[in-house]
């Protein structure tokens, strides 16, 4: 954890009461978590958002370990797909599990552009 002066943002020691630069007694704190303390887990998730009288207005799927037909993507892909039924839009993002690189991104606007050509 780092301590800063609330006024001039000079880094201070914890026992330094007034700031040596501007004399302010206010403090700002910055906490940086260590990566070892966090564990990221990814699992299959399907969700729906419903409103009374409207039914399902949004829904989505997160498929983290989906197999791919592409031989370059041996470890599989992470597919995220969501639909907004109010705006009548949908989006899909597919990432390589190994590198995190987006290998495919599509939405209904890109399909409309394809159909115009």
Rounded distance between C-alpha atoms, residue 33 and residue 38, angstroms: 8
Which range marks the domain in which residue 71 is found?
A: 45-116
Q: Tell me, what's the pLDDT at 40?
A: 42
Whether residue 83 is contained in a domain is answered as yes
Residue 57 lies in a domain: yes
Report the alpha-carbon distance of residue 44 to residue 75 in Å, rounded. 16
For residues 75 and 112, which has the higher predicted lDDT (pLDDT)? Answer: 75
**Does residue 52 sit within a domain?**
yes
The domain tally of the chain equals: 2
pLDDT at 31: 65
Does residue 2 contact residue 30 with C-beta atoms inside 8 Å?
yes
pLDDT at 113 over 70: no
Q: Tell me which H or E stretch contains 48.
A: strand 45-51
pLDDT tens-digit readout, 63-76: 887 777 777 777 78
Q: Which of 30, 33, 39 is nearest to 6 (CA)?
A: 30
In this structure, the number of other CB atoms found within 10 A of the CB of residue 23 comes to 10
Are residues 107 and 64 both part of a single domain? yes
4, 15 Cβ separation under 8 angstroms: no
Task: Confirm whether 40 is domain-assigned.
Answer: no
């Amino acid at each position: 954890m780092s301590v800063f002066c609330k006024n001039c943002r000079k880094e201070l020691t914890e026992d330094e009461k007034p700031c040596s630069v501007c004399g302010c007694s206010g403090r700002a704190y910055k906490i940086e978590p260590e990566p070892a303390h966090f564990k990221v887990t990814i699992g299959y998730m399907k969700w729906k958002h419903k409103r009374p009288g409207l039914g399902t207005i949004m829904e989505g799927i997160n498929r983290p370990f989906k197999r791919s037909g592409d031989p370059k993507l041996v470890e599989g892909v992470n597919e995220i797909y969501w639909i907004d039924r109010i705006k009548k839009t949908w989006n899909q993002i597919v990432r390589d599990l190994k590198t995190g690189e987006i290998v495919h991104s599509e939405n209904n606007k890109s399909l409309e552009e394809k159909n115009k050509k």
